[in-house]
Amino acid sequence: MMKSRQNNERTDPKKGRTSAKSRTRSGKDLLADLNISASTGKVTQRPKPKTALPRVKTSAQEPKERKAAEPKVIFKKVDESNDGQRLDNFLLSQLKGVPKSLIYRVVRSGEVRVNKGRAHVDTRLQSGDEVRIPPIRYTEKESEHSAPPLKLSEMPPILFEDQNIMVVDKPAGMASHGGSGISYGLIERMRASRPELPFLELVHRLDRGTSGVLVLAKTRKALVRLHEMIREGEMHKAYQALVKGDWQNDRQHAKFPLFKYVTPSGERRVRVDPENGLPSHSIFRLKERFGPVSLVEVDLLTGRTHQIRVHAAELGFPLVGDEKYGDFAFNDEVAHGLLGVPFKRMFLHSGKICFHHPITGEELEIEAPLPKDCVELIEVLEQRKAQNK
């Protein structure tokens, strides 16, 4: 019976001719390929095992997957903390690590919209506004822009803090903010150290070499109000400075107009310029004479860049350690111990600030003590002065 079936398979025209390989195979091989039921005699072809093929992404699948990885348009509601903020500064806070130049270019292109309309970089946002932020494709690694958090040993003392403002004692040598060849300063590192704060901005600045009181705003409302106080002369700052020379007047006003410019090398400088300079007013008060140097206290009635440093130099009493406007040869001698102890920084310290709290109206007077290196120098100068009497 098995033989007749095999013959029928070879000659049945409906099934076609079998292959040469099938015609020459042994009966044992055929039985292995055929499944014959002993009870029914029915012959069925054993299914061939399925071979798992490697999964290949089709061209239709790839764009869909790429699209999911691409940045998307973001619609951001402006809350009270950003009320009154400029559009460019708002975008900088939302797009961490993106260069300001790229943000300006995107805004000018019209891709950024405020309440569905075009806007300028200086547009002031209001609470409740809706800002459309387009996808920003930026290839440079964000880590290159990210400031490292402050180590515990680097954290400046916090002189005052509540939910609206923070006042810190900035150390000399740390920039207030990044820029001019500095990747990041105190404000960027404070943000990295306090990631739970949604808003943290400088209210004013201190030069890199200046130590002392620095005010930060934790809300947009506080920042706007504090800036108004500065413009209206409602924030009073007092500095301590050590100057070269024997200061004579107990109290002296300096009202030299100051003009800010940039050198060909890109360095920011300020000079006295009666024609183009901005009105500037400093009041110097003598605290103590030490012969070759004098300790003075300075009240700022205006807050121009490098104001105390340029005014002091114009009066003929440059600041000790001032690398831009000082006496360089004298500074070098001071660094090597001319005054009794090596002193290698600029002696300018923001010692006190007075203003009304921007939200509560409470009168605040916040002081930062002289840094240790400044205290040690003053103590040595006082000892030498006492010995010379």
Active-site residue numbers?
Answer: 207
**DSSP-derived pairing of the beta strands 348-356 and 201-202:** unpaired
**What b/e readout covers 26-48, taking b as 16+ CB neighbours within 10 angstroms?**
eeeeeeeeeeeeeeeeeeeeeee
Which residues contact residue 201 at a Cβ distance below 8 angstroms, ignoring those fewer than 6 apart?
187, 216, 217, 223
| Ranges of H-type helices in 232-371 | 307-314, 328-335
Q: What does the alpha-carbon distance between residue 380 and residue 94 come to, in Å, rounded to a whole number? A: 50
Strands 348-356 and 211-217: parallel
Strand partners, 254: 282
Strand 258-262 relative to strand 251-254, pairing: unpaired
User: What would the DSSP string read from start to end of 101-129?
Assistant: HHHHHHHHTT-SEETTEE--TTPBP-TT-
Going from the C-alpha of 141 to that of each of 10, 98, 123, 134, 137, the distances in angstroms are 71, 10, 29, 19, 11
Using alpha carbons, select from 323, 176, 180 the residue that is nearest to residue 262: 180
CA distance 160 to 148: 23
